[in-house]
Amino acid sequence: MAKNIQAVRGMHDVLPEQTQSWQRVEKVFQQVLASYGYQEIRLPIVEKTELFNRSIGEVTDIVEKEMYTFDDRNGDSLTLRPEGTAGCLRAGIEHGLLHNQIQRLWYYGPMFRHERPQKGRYRQFYQLGVETYGMAGPDIDAEIIILGHRLWTQLGIRDKLELQLNTLGSKEERQHYREKLVVYFSKHIALLDDDSRRRLQTNPLRILDSKNPEVQALVEQAPTLMDSLGDESLQHFKGLTHLLDELGIDYKINCRLVRGLDYYGYTVFEWVTNDLGAQGTVCAGGRYDSLVEQLGARSSSAIGFAMGMERLMALVEMLGEASTAKRSIDVYMICVGDKTQAVGMVLAETLRTYLPTLKLQVHCGGGSFKSQFKKADKSGADIALIIGDDEVANDEVGVKSLRKKQDQNIMAQKEVGMYLQKALNITSSEG
Ligand code: ATP
Ligand code: MG
């Protein structure tokens, strides 16, 4: 026998038993985002490699080692998107959504990074992204934070997440801070790993983002950017914390928070949990005004966040609500006899038209009454409809509760719609 083909390492399937909770959570996204007036944008999964090189930064984990890059047949270098911010901004610029305009956008879909797979870290993973353009803040900064807060509240996981906040200041302030960092880390160069030593030359701020515990210990003692901020940056940051205070949102200021991408300035934040081990950041975002010009458009403001769906779902699943997930069907239709399949399928179509929310499965593949009834019972449905030769002859249908001890009923086919509507307490297309 041929060997089974398995999924690519780090790329996982979302199985039917999980999709119900995924869909429930996705619905919450849609409702909450709509309630703030955000609109969905759908973007390609593949972009020109140059887009990511130019935006994310050459000396970042993503661009250095995580991108799935390949040559198109005509030789163009393409990349599976490792994140959505760059593509969203590319689309915004390309379609004129930015110039002199305000946008509140969101997207949802798979991202690809060639990382070492482990719990909460995959090579294909889903992100919900929120991006806003044209607002200089800090009011919009507060809005996207409280929007996240509302998502966690609706999903019942607010207590599991802590908001960490920092500001990266202006480009000039970061430049000045960079010099301070170089002086500091150069003094302790013996304690730096190879990656960090290289970054000392190319992009010293990245050292603050190191996952190496020894480097992290050194980072703890490093000078902070907060200490060398000018008035404007401090005012922006104070404006944000003031709004969060007024809105009753708790936060912790974390001066080491720099984020793994180069395009951030001013506000950065992460929603972090202790419940997921090392992969504790569920949602992360920040302001990236300078990226707009960097991608060739007239200067504008931009701030957004991206949330990892797998990490979020791990938290949601801890609530143990999966077991109370709604059953997948309400009614199972059994058809035993020669002409019964056609009659049953026609009746099922009539019922689906009359009761748009009804979940009705028609048995396919024949078999005895006994074997079909067993399947009906196992399906989780509440009610079985039974079509046999007698029912076909008399335009009738058998109705049997699968959950209550009740005898089978026989009723006219044209009455069964109203019966199900009442029994299942659902609305009909006729209101
Ligand atoms: P990390 O520090 O964990 O590598 P990151 O800074 O690279 O995260 P972002 O690029 O900010 O992550 O992405 C936003 C969110 O997307 C993360 O907070 C996380 O929830 C999720 N995420 C990022 N990379 C992965 C991955 N490989 N697998 C699953 N989720 C991921
Ligand atoms: Mg990463």
- CB of 12 sitting under 6 A from ligand 1: no
With a CB cutoff of 8 Å and minimum separation 6, the contacts of 190 are: none
Q: Is the CB of 311 under 6 A from ligand 1?
A: yes
pLDDT score recorded for residue 322:
53
Ligand closest to 304 (CA) is: 1
- Compute, in angstroms, the gap from residue 10 CA to the centroid of ligand 1: 14
CA 31/CA 409 separation, integer angstroms: 41
Q: Of all protein residues, whose CA lies closest to atom 14 belonging to ligand 1?
A: 306
Give mean pLDDT in consecutive 10-residue pieces for the chain, a chain of 431 residues: 93 93 96 98 98 86 91 97 97 94 97 96 98 96 98 97 95 90 93 91 87 90 89 96 97 88 88 94 95 90 97 94 68 95 96 96 95 95 97 97 92 97 92 69
Question: What number does the ligand 1 atom closest to the CA of 305 have?
Answer: 14
Task: Please work out whether the CB of residue 121 comes within 6 Å of at least one atom of ligand 1.
Answer: yes
Any atom of ligand 1 within 6 Å of the Cβ of 281: yes
Q: Give the ligand at the shortest distance from the Cα of 315.
A: 1
- Contact of 251 with 165, CB cutoff 8 Å: yes
**Distance between CA atoms of 233 and 338, rounded to whole angstroms?**
78
Q: Ligand 1 centre from 279 Cα, in Å?
A: 8
Indicate whether residue 391 lines ligand 1 (CB < 6 A): no
Query: Residue of the nearest CA to atom 24 in ligand 1?
Result: 121
Q: How far is the CA of 16 from the centre of ligand 1 (A)?
A: 25
> Does the Cβ of 85 fall within 6 Å of ligand 1?
no
Task: Look at residue 303 in the predicted model and tell me its pLDDT.
Answer: 97
Q: What is the pLDDT of residues 281-324, one digit of tens each?
A: 999 999 999 999 999 888 899 999 999 999 999 999 999 865 55
DSSP state of 344: H
Q: Beta 39-40 vs 409-412: how paired, if at all?
A: unpaired
Count of all residues that appear for the chain in the document: 431
pTM of the predicted model as reported, rounded to 2 decimal places: 0.89
For residue 66, the model assigns a pLDDT of 94
Helix residue spans in 14-84 (DSSP H): 16-35, 49-56, 61
String of DSSP letters for 119-186: TTB-SEEEEEEEEEES--SSHHHHHHHHHHHHHHHHHT-GGG-EEEEEE---HHHHHHHHHHHHHHHH
